[in-house]
């Protein structure tokens, strides 16, 4: 069964960190977000700061999160995620066409599912991006954590 990512909110720290475009809500579907990183060669830090070097991106908006949970999904859900991201790229980012947006969305959803492929459901992950090739490309490194249980509340 394929796997994908949902936003995790442990506290309100993401609200402060991602105040420019907002923090993803608990349970929002998120992608790796590699398609929406700063130009490290010319602008190593965005203004206003987006923290794209260490965050995931919501499917249907510019909201970000620091931690994501791996969850099982169906092939139909992956298709729906691809469509949702493609529509956002058209409406929210001004993609030149549905076809171009769909290609980018397919690649991003496939990449996110590939990241999750070998991970167990319910683990949490974080991402750290670093520039390479003079800043014209980025490497992504993921850290994996066992999901926390606090009291009787499943986070």
Q: What is the pLDDT of residues 14-56, one digit of tens each?
A: 888 788 778 999 999 999 876 665 665 555 556 556 666 778 9
What is the rounded distance in angstroms from the CA atom of residue 43 to the CA atom of residue 154?
39
CB burial of residue 36 (10 Å; 0-12, 13-18, 19+):
middle
Query: How many domains is the chain built from?
Result: 1
User: Quick one: the chain helix, strand, coil %, rounded to 5?
Assistant: 35, 30, 40
**Considering the domain boundaries, does residue 154 fall inside one?**
no
**Considering the domain boundaries, does residue 155 fall inside one?**
no
Give the residue numbers spanning the domain of 110.
3-149
Q: What is the number of alpha carbons within 13 Å of residue 87 lying toward its C-beta?
A: 7
pLDDT (mean) for 124-145:
82
């Amino acid at each position: 069964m394929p796997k994908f990512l949902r936003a995790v909110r442990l506290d309100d720290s993401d609200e402060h960190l991602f105040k420019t475009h907002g923090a993803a809500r608990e349970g929002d579907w998120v992608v790796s977000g590699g398609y929406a990183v700063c130009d490290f060669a010319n602008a190593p830090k965005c203004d206003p700061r987006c923290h794209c070097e260490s965050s995931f991106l919501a499917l249907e908006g510019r909201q970000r999160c620091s931690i994501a949970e791996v969850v099982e999904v169906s092939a139909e859900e992956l298709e729906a995620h691809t469509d949702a991201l493609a529509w956002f790229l058209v409406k929210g980012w001004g993609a030149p066409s549905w076809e171009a947006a769909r290609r980018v969305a397919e690649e991003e959803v496939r990449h996110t599912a590939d990241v999750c492929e070998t991970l167990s459901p319910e683990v949490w992950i974080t991402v750290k991006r670093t520039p390479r090739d003079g800043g014209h490309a980025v490497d992504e490194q993921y850290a994996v954590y066992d999901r926390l249980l606090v009291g009787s509340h499943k986070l």
